[in-house]
């Protein structure tokens, strides 16, 4: 039996932050995701007779910012835990 082709991978918020921490080679500090958006105004509608003013929002960049004391713990990842300088990652719970 042939397995179906996988077309999507979904990640938890913290997994995205962890991947960015590793890509940036960060080994210390608490980090959270930052997303920049772009906004464009346009006339939109299914036909010229049904045009209305509208807006489109696009993600223009995704990055990391240092967490502050007030940052919700659920949005913060500690680089020292997920990407320690010694390269020894802690054992993880299975999903």
pLDDT at 46: 95
Q: Who contacts 17 (Cβ-Cβ below 8 Å, separation ≥6)? A: 31, 32, 33, 64, 77
Give residue-wise pLDDT tens across range 59-93: 999 999 999 999 999 999 999 999 999 877 666 55
The secondary structure of residue 82, as a DSSP letter, is H
Task: Note whether residue 64 is domain-resident.
Answer: yes
Q: How many domains does the chain have?
A: 1
18 backbone dihedrals φ, ψ, rounded to 5°: -60, -45
Q: Which one, of 41, 44, 23, 45, lies nearest residue 33 by Cα?
A: 23
Nearest-angstrom CA–CA distance, 68 and 76: 9
Give residue-wise pLDDT tens across range 3-52: 888 899 999 999 999 999 999 999 999 999 999 999 999 999 999 999 99
Task: Note whether residue 21 is domain-resident.
Answer: yes
Task: Note whether residue 92 is domain-resident.
Answer: no
Domain range for 23: 13-82
Task: Note whether residue 70 is domain-resident.
Answer: yes
Task: Note whether residue 1 is domain-resident.
Answer: no
């Amino acid at each position: 039996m042939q397995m179906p082709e996988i077309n999507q991978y979904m990640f938890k918020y913290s997994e995205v932050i962890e991947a960015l921490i590793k890509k940036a080679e960060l080994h210390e500090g608490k980090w959270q995701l930052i997303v920049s958006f772009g906004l464009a105004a346009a006339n939109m509608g299914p036909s010229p007779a049904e045009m209305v003013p509208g807006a489109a929002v696009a993600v223009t960049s995704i990055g990391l910012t240092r967490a502050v004391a007030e940052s919700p713990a659920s949005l913060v990842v500690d680089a020292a835990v997920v990407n320690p300088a010694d390269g020894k990652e802690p054992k993880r719970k299975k999903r």
